[in-house]
């Protein structure tokens, strides 16, 4: 399929998916991003994510498993997808690439708002240690400020994904998921969940969150350069059957699950805790199986 036809098909899928969550896609925002990454879209994992929180007015699209030689932030700057900045957020990804064992990258954009995030994925056999991460000059000071918390809960040596939000100037750190690296069970147990959220000054967990955490497989934290505190703590579940989760699904989520213009292969559902309360998110995979099968066969 010619690249132009492939992009046209992807944009159509993206536009129809956005309509399910009451979002209008902006071709002016989206098409330049598709063109900027068209050489790697075919080999990437593609997902769409909806939220009930502050991002409920947009639908996120994510390309992941981009080759590690792709300078995603450099492309974003070159193509005018994001403004150049002297803030540390603009230099962090380059430092991560140079100093940490990164195997692939990813990019996020809102179908209404445009380019937002860059992602770095360490090799599964060698996850990132926080002791190495905090040595990077551009890392938010809040990471070092919370080393005691991460050590207390057994998370210091298992950073599996690093996300940089250029628009909000925050960093997401995901934990667990490597070969032999699992988040300690107590992090997901009722006593642990209550203790963690209380220690961080976040909202007390709802009964829904406590029940959901029994099935969680990973967590991530959100930190910024502007505060020493962990701003969000999110629990996630991967499942092929999201309708079976112990949660009250938003109507927009139900429409994505039932009416998405493609066959979803898997879903990731998350509940984020903030100082003001909880909100939910769901990601559905548009392009998944082909890429995963290719990786599995290459490792055989």
Tens digits of residue pLDDT in 252-286:
999 999 999 998 778 999 999 999 999 999 999 99
pLDDT at 180: 67
What's the structural domain count of the chain?
1
The angle, 0 to 180 degrees and rounded to 10, between the axes of the packed helices 251-259 and 3-20 is 140
* Long-range Cβ contacts of 7-10 (<8 Å, 24+ apart): 7/31, 7/34, 7/35, 7/38, 7/41, 10/34, 10/41, 10/46
Angle at 248 between CA 247 and CA 252, to 5 degrees: 115
Is 1's pLDDT higher than 70?
no
Is 18's pLDDT higher than 70?
yes
pLDDT at 177: 75
Identify the domain containing residue 118 by its residue range: 3-299
What is the average pLDDT across 162-181? Answer: 90
Tens digits of residue pLDDT in 27-77:
999 999 999 999 999 889 999 999 998 889 999 999 999 999 999 999 999
Tens digits of residue pLDDT in 180-212:
678 999 999 999 999 999 999 999 999 999 999
Token readout for 249 is 């699904």
Tens digits of residue pLDDT in 216-261:
989 999 999 999 999 999 999 999 999 999 999 999 999 999 999 9
Is 2's pLDDT higher than 60?
no
Mean pLDDT of the chain: 92
């Amino acid at each position: 399929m010619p690249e132009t036809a492939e992009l046209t098909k992807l944009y159509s899928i993206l536009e129809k998916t956005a309509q399910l969550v009451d979002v209008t896609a902006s071709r002016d925002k989206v098409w330049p991003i598709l063109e900027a990454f068209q050489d790697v879209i075919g080999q990437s994992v593609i997902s769409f994510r909806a939220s009930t929180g502050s991002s409920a007015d947009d639908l996120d699209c994510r390309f992941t498993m981009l080759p590690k030689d792709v300078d995603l932030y450099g492309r974003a700057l070159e193509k005018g997808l994001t403004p150049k900045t002297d803030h540390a957020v603009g230099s962090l990804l380059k430092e991560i690439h140079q100093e940490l064992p990164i195997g692939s990258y990813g990019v996020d954009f809102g179908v209404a708002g445009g380019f937002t995030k860059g992602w770095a994925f360490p090799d599964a056999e060698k996850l990132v240690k926080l002791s190495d991460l905090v040595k990077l000059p551009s890392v938010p000071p809040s990471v070092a400020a919370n080393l005691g918390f991460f050590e207390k809960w057994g998370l210091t040596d298992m950073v599996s994904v690093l996300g940089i939000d250029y628009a909000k100037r925050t960093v997401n750190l995901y934990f667990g998921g490597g070969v032999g690296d699992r988040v300690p069970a107590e992090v997901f147990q009722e006593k642990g969940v209550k203790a963690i959220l209380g220690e961080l000054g976040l909202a007390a967990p709802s009964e829904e969150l406590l029940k959901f955490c029994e099935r969680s497989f990973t967590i991530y934290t959100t930190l910024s350069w502007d505060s020493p505190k962990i701003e969000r703590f999110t629990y996630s579940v991967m499942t092929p059957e999201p309708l079976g989760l112990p949660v009250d699904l938003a109507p927009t989520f139900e429409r994505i699950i039932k009416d998405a213009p493609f066959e979803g292969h898997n879903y990731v559902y998350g509940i984020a805790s903030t100082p003001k309360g909880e909100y939910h998110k769901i990601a559905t995979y548009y392009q998944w199986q082909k890429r995963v099968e290719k990786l599995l066969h290459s490792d055989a």
